[in-house]
Amino acid sequence: MTDALPTTEGKGLAASAGALAGIKVVDLTRVLGGPYCTMILSDHGAEVIKVEPPQGDEVREWGPPFQGDAASYFIGVNRNKQSIALDLARPAGREVLLKLLEDADVLVENFKPGSMEKWGLGYQEVLSARFPKLVHCRVSGFGATGPRGGLPGYDAIIQAMCGLMSINGTPETGPVRMGTPIVDLATGLYSAIGILMALQERNRSGQGQYVDMTLYDCGTALLHPQAANYLLNGRRPVATGNPHPNIAPYSKFRTRTCEIFVAAGNDPAFRKFCAFLGLEGLAEDPRFRTNGDRVTNRAALTEALEARLSQEDGHALCDRMLAAGLPAGPVLNVDEALAEPHTAHRGMVTELGEFRALGTPIKLSRTPGGTRAPSPAFNQHGEAVLKRHGYTDEQIAALKDEGVLVEKRR
């Protein structure tokens, strides 16, 4: 059963049971991709039981900053979940897991491929027969098969291997890791989509299925438009910095007060942009009449625009441009972006007591999701979860004594 909606005042809180109320998720994942996926599900009402290993989810230590004994890295992606710590290396721990799965809809795990099978918990061999309606989502680096099957994967390594680093940065910097762990986050998003697809199909067939998610596939799937360009023209994409490889102007420009980003996605928008700046002649220049012309003559266009934009207050200019229907925005730091009035209006910083994190971007009209509870302490709900699944006080005490239910991180 899901926790009751909080009565504590805050921001970005759930105002309904959620679109996924009644869905039970057993979450065996750690670090980021898997927990990000299950946070999305929990934001919208799914009951998520986070089963941590004896040492805990290692991102509890990925700080500073810390709040109590939990790092911000953990706090930011584990809200609304219940934590129970089990030693799955012990047969009794695996028996508890099977008990949790008896009425579960979804199992999400990111163990190294083969681990669940080694424990006698493989989907094909065991879980699909024992729990035919279960949707089992595995998140791994490369999958279980193929030339790199079974090998470990990490966000930055996949960024390097799938080509994302090669298109980030500038010709001067060379390949640069994207500052946000984009592969992990995208894998979490794709995994949530895959799980929801499988649940939707289960409504028709009555059957669960295996959802095979890899960092490698998800990282590769982000290579647009660079992969599309290469598959059409055969030319190796290169890092272009801020400018878009297929559109101009679509880049960062200096103004008198700050840097701004301007986007003119088609020829009418470019003409309107030039008229707004009093540069009508630029739109009639043969070098810039079409988008193809502007991409070819990007350097000359950039020089002309920067000469004009350097006279402006960038913040005020962007406000005027947006009001006129022209896409533009100041380049803000993270603290500035989080303090924006529109960020608050959209509920994109959520607060519940001392808990603060990014809010859910998924806005549903009848069943809005959001924060119900802060990220849990290690094994915070262990006893409660077991009691809800039929364990007696004596059985719980025995599991503690045997080291199966872990009360303190090892």
Output b/e per residue, 16-27; b: 16+ Cβ within 10 A: ebbbbeebbbbb
| Structure tokens given for 49 | 């039981």
Residue 344 burial (10 A CB sphere; 0-12, 13-18, 19+): middle
Same domain, 380 and 325: no
The verdict on residue 195 lying in a domain is: yes
The predicted pLDDT at position 3 comes to 46
**Is residue 375 assigned to a domain?**
yes
CB 383 within 8 A of CB 82: no
Same domain? 34 vs 173: yes
Residue 188 lies in a domain: yes
- The number of domains in the chain is 2
The CA distance from 306 to 346, in Å, is 33
pLDDT 10s digits, 269-324: 999 999 999 999 999 999 999 999 999 999 999 999 999 999 999 999 999 999 99
How far is Cα 124 from Cα 25, in angstroms, rounded to an integer?
19
Across the chain, what does the average pLDDT equal?
95
By percentage, how much of the chain surpasses pLDDT 90? 95
- C-beta of residue 379 within 8 angstroms of C-beta of residue 406: yes
Which of 321, 338, 355 is a domain's end point? 338
Do 96 and 69 fall into the same domain?
yes
Nearest alpha carbon to residue 347 among 366, 334, 360: 360
Asked whether residue 194 is assigned to any structural domain, the reply reads yes
If you ran DSSP here, which 8-state letter would residue 86 be given?
A: B
Q: Which CATH number goes with the domain that contains 391?
A: 3.40.50.10540
Burial 152-162 (b: 16+ CB within 10 A, else e): ebebebbbebb
Is 87 inside any structural domain? yes
Last residue of a domain, one of 320, 338, 356: 338
Q: In this model, does residue 35 exceed pLDDT 50?
A: yes
Q: Same domain, yes or no, for 181 and 311?
A: no
Q: What is the pLDDT of residues 16-27, one digit of tens each?
A: 999 999 999 999
* Tokens of residue 198, six digits: 């499988």
**HSE of 366, CA atoms in CB hemisphere, 13 A:** 3
Whether residue 302 is found in the same domain as residue 366: no
The span from the CA of 195 to the CA of 202, in Å, is: 10
- Give 71-124 pLDDT, tens digit per residue: 999 999 999 999 999 999 999 999 999 999 999 999 999 999 999 999 999 999
- Domain assignment of residue 297, yes or no: yes
Tell me whether residue 245 is exposed, middle or buried, using C-beta atoms within 10 angstroms of its C-beta: 0 to 12, 13 to 18, 19 or more: middle
pLDDT at 2: 44
Please name the residues in contact with 15: beta carbons below 8 A apart, sequence gap of 6 or more.
Answer: 5, 368, 370
> Is residue 217 domain-shared with residue 285, that is, in the same domain?
no
CA distance linking residue 238 with residue 228, whole number of Å: 13
**Residues 321-344: what's their mean pLDDT?**
96
**CA torsion through residues 391, 396, 397, 403, sign:** positive
**CB count in 10 Å sphere of residue 271:** 18
Q: pLDDT value at position 168?
A: 95
* Same domain as 109, residue 201: yes
Per-residue pLDDT at 342: 95
Give the model's pLDDT for residue 6. 46
- The pTM (predicted TM-score) of the whole model is 0.92
Other CB atoms within 10 A of residue 147 CB: 6
Q: What does the alpha-carbon distance between residue 27 and residue 106 come to, in Å, rounded to a whole number? A: 8
DSSP state string for 172-199: TT-S---SS-HHHHHHHHHHHHHHHHHH
pLDDT tens readout for residues 177-186: 999 999 999 9
pLDDT of amino acid 8: 53
Q: Which of 338, 360, 392 is the last residue of a domain?
A: 338
Q: What is the pLDDT of residues 194-243, one digit of tens each?
A: 999 999 999 999 999 999 999 999 999 999 999 999 999 999 999 988 88
User: For position 10, what pLDDT does the model report?
Assistant: 84
Residue 152: which of 109, 186, 112, 108 has the closest Cα? 112
Question: Is residue 15 included in any domain, yes or no?
Answer: yes
| Bridge-based pairing state of the strands 106-109 and 81-85 | unpaired
Same domain, 48 and 166: yes
Structure token digits, residue 218: 């998800």
Length of the chain: 410
Six token digits for residue 276: 């707004």
Q: Are 220 and 267 in contact (CB under 8 A)?
A: no
**Same domain as 193, residue 300:** no
Residue 5 confidence (pLDDT) above 60: no
- In terms of domains, do 373 and 279 share one? no
Amino acid at 50: K
* Single-letter amino acid, residue 390: G
Residue 166 sits in the same domain as residue 300: no
Domain of residue 332, CATH code: 3.30.1540.10
Task: State the average pLDDT over residues 49-58.
Answer: 97
Between CA 218 and CA 188 the distance in angstroms is: 9
Q: Are 322 and 359 within one domain?
A: no
Best CA proximity match to 30, nearest among 55, 8, 58, 54: 58
Integer Cα distance of 178 and 404 in angstroms: 40
- Do the domain assignments include residue 27? yes
- The residues annotated with a catalytic role in the active site are 184
Domain region containing 291: 250-338
Residue 96 C-alpha from the chain's centroid? 29
Q: With 80 as the cut, is the pLDDT of residue 384 above it?
A: yes
